[in-house]
Amino acid sequence: MTLDRGPVPEQGWDKGPVPLSRKENGMFVYNKGYIVDSAILVAHYSGFPYVCKKKGDLNMTKVGILVGSLRKESFSKKIAENVAELFPEGYETEFVNIGDIPLYNQDFDDENNVPEEIATFRYKMKQIDAVLFVTPEYNRSIPAVLKNAVDAGSRPKSESVWNGKPAAIISQSPGNLSGFGANHHLRQSLVSLNMPVLQQPEAYLANSAALLDENGIISNEGTIQFLQLFVDAFVALMEKYKG
Ligand code: FNR
């Protein structure tokens, strides 16, 4: 693994520890480190923490996928897995878990006592360039678990993990409603979070259970074509906002 030395990690990540000792290119010796994911490593060098990234991943656009359902057999999750396959080369998708984020309480930030799961979530999202939301509708809005993740990532306001990141939304329902209410409630929050949200095509998937076979695969040609069109438009949006 070739490593680049990056900025000092944000608060909340100096923990672990995973024993690590290696020399790379004769330059770095890590005494201990924390593997955050396959691309990122937080290491200690001469007592100071650094974020290290795999060289090959630096040019990849990272798309975080947030699923608004924790259900084991979630249709949203299965749809998201199908959609993840449609991104072109140069795009890396990553499912970001939102199920263990504690209920957000503003005191966490006001009293500088942010729970580890929230710090972890914020850190992960900071590494992400764009966000795909795939969600069901709960009582004509988004599920609380997804709203909680949106809120937890939005503070401190000046460090919001969402600011300026392109986003796209797919809502689904096993019935006929297709999650329109959830889709638009989420859009309302994303506008306030300064996320450029894909406008067209809109993705409302009705009768979602029927779209998936017993292996969770979407095989209907028309649906695949539509989802590919959706991903292509999202990619065009991400390209437009690349810094
Ligand atoms: C629902 N469901 C639902 N469906 C819908 O189309 N509009 C709605 O307002 C609601 N409301 C709602 C509230 C609650 C609390 C639950 C548990 C469910 C049904 C929902 O679409 C269905 O359970 C989906 O299967 C949920 O998505 P996942 O878990 O399959 O991704």
For the stretch 76-91, pLDDT in tens is: 999 999 999 999 999 9
Residue ranges of the domains in the chain? Answer: 3-57, 61-240
Ligand 1 within 6 A of CB of 207: no
pLDDT at 243: 67
Looking up tokens 């993740």 gives: 149
Residue 90 corresponds to which tokens in the numbers above?
Answer: 């140069």
How many other C-beta atoms can be found within 10 angstroms of the C-beta atom of residue 76? 27
* Domain 61-240, CATH: 3.40.50.360
Q: Give the model's pLDDT for residue 222.
A: 97
What is the model's pLDDT at position 157? 95
**Would you mind telling me the total number of residues written for the chain in this entry?**
243
Specify whether the CB–CB gap between 68 and 146 falls below 8 A: yes
Interval 183-220: pLDDT, tens: 999 999 999 999 999 999 999 999 999 999 999 999 99
Q: Whose CA is nearest to atom 29 of ligand 1?
A: 74
CA 87 to ligand 1 center in whole angstroms: 27
Is the pLDDT reported for residue 42 higher than 80?
no
138 ligand 1 Cβ < 6 A: yes
Its pTM stands at: 0.82
Instruction: Name residue, tokens 């695949």.
Output: 224
**Tens digit of pLDDT for each residue in 116-134?**
999 999 999 998 999 999 9
**CB 178 near ligand 1, within 6 Å:** no
What is the 141 CA–ligand 1 centroid distance (Å)? 10
Do residues 201 and 225 make contact, with C-beta atoms less than 8 angstroms apart?
no
Beta bridge partners of 133: 66, 169
The amino acid at 69: S
More confident residue, 144 or 24: 144
Q: What is the pLDDT of residue 97?
A: 96
Residue 13 clears pLDDT 50, i.e. is over it: no
Give nearest CA residue, ligand 1 atom 21. Answer: 173
For residue 71, give Cα distances in angstroms to 39, 60, 143.
28, 30, 12
